[in-house]
Structure 1
Amino acid sequence: MATTLTVWKFPTATGADQAINTLEELQREQLIEVHDGAVVKWPDGAKKPKTEQLRSLTGVGALGGAFWGLLFGLLFFVPLLGAAVGAGIGALTGSLADVGIDDGFINRVKQQITPGTSALFVLTSDAALDRVHERFAGQQAELLSTNLTHEQEAKLREVFAA
């Protein structure tokens, strides 16, 4: 089971909401397994985006608030909800790089998610890719993804699991 951290960016602040509904349908039909996820909505005129973990799809979530808090803190300088502060942050950011979430990934995502847009961040596996792509057709999503090896996934869960 290969796990993928996927980021879909939408050209409107509400576009990610439709994607959540699509993911829920795909999961019900067993065409994808959602382990954890979060959504970012950045309305026009807002100083920073609103972030929320996707508990409706994943229950508690595989990674917990510390992972999403750290990732969104690095991307948007939002508060690090549930994340350790101080010296521990350096170790956590090093752990992100170890799992393929490096400066290049952070910079690409940071440049793409701007005021007036939204994004869906999701950790998935067992996706029927052709069916998933079909369902997202027409949603005007830009796709950016990082595939995780089994070792990277295990490390990510070890560092960030609640």
Structure 2
Amino acid sequence: MATLTVWKFDNPTAADDTVRTLEMLAKQELINLHDAATVSWPTDRKKPKTRQLRNMAGIGAMGGMFWGMLFGLIFFVPFLGAAVGAAAGALGGALTDVGIDDDFIKAVRDQVTPGTSALFLLSSGAVADKVQPAIAEHNPHLIQSNLTAEQEKALREMLGE
């Protein structure tokens, strides 16, 4: 089963740095990367920059439409007019089927701010004792996951949160 996790970093380049680490670990067959996207928000920008990792393919890949809709709801809809916001709200209802609800959107919006970055990761098969120390070097903060409460607690403890 694939896990969707959202990680926040306290600088605008750390999410992309973490992706490079994960790609290296994937080549060593220590994690399966199904899909991912990053958000980078330099302090001098009004809006964040988003990027989907298009070189990742496989069953369960989210696709550009999914990432575009999700990032639009999180970061750009508050700046748009009411009519566009209402249309996005109707589209956003479909995301609740995959565990993305208003609380998820609010948590990400509140935590990913200028001067930070985030990694949205769909993965499976992680060799925990190899992957977690490599990710921990980038000082991530877990915002959201579809793990059980017990699994999420263990992950947070391993990363020192």
Shorter-chain TM-score bucket reads: 0.7 to 0.9
SS at match of 1:55: coil
Aligned to 2:20: 21
RMSD between aligned alpha carbons? 2.4
Equivalence map 1:75-86=2 (5 Å): 75-77=74-76
Compared with structure 1, are the counterparts of its residues 127 and 88 closer, same or farther at alpha carbon in structure 2 (3 Å cutoff)?
farther
Aligned to 1:127: 126
Whole-angstrom distance in 2 between the partners of 1:68 and 1:121: 9
**Runs ≥4 residues deviating over 6 A:** 85-88
* Structure 1 runs not aligned, ≥5 long: 79-84, 150-162
Tell me by how many angstroms 1:89 deviates. Answer: 4.4
Give aligned pairs, total.
141
Aligned to 1:116: 115
Equivalent position amino acid for 1:20 in 2: V
Aligned to 1:35: 34
* Structure 2 runs not aligned, ≥5 long: 78-83, 149-161
Equivalent residues of 2:73, 2:88 under 8 A apart: no
Compared with structure 1, are the counterparts of its residues 86 and 134 closer, same or farther at alpha carbon in structure 2 (3 Å cutoff)?
closer
Tell me by how many angstroms 1:92 deviates. Answer: 3.4
Percent of aligned positions with the same letter in both sequences? 57
Equivalent residues of 2:12, 2:115 under 8 A apart: yes
Aligned to 2:140: 141
Tell me by how many angstroms 1:62 deviates. Answer: 1.6
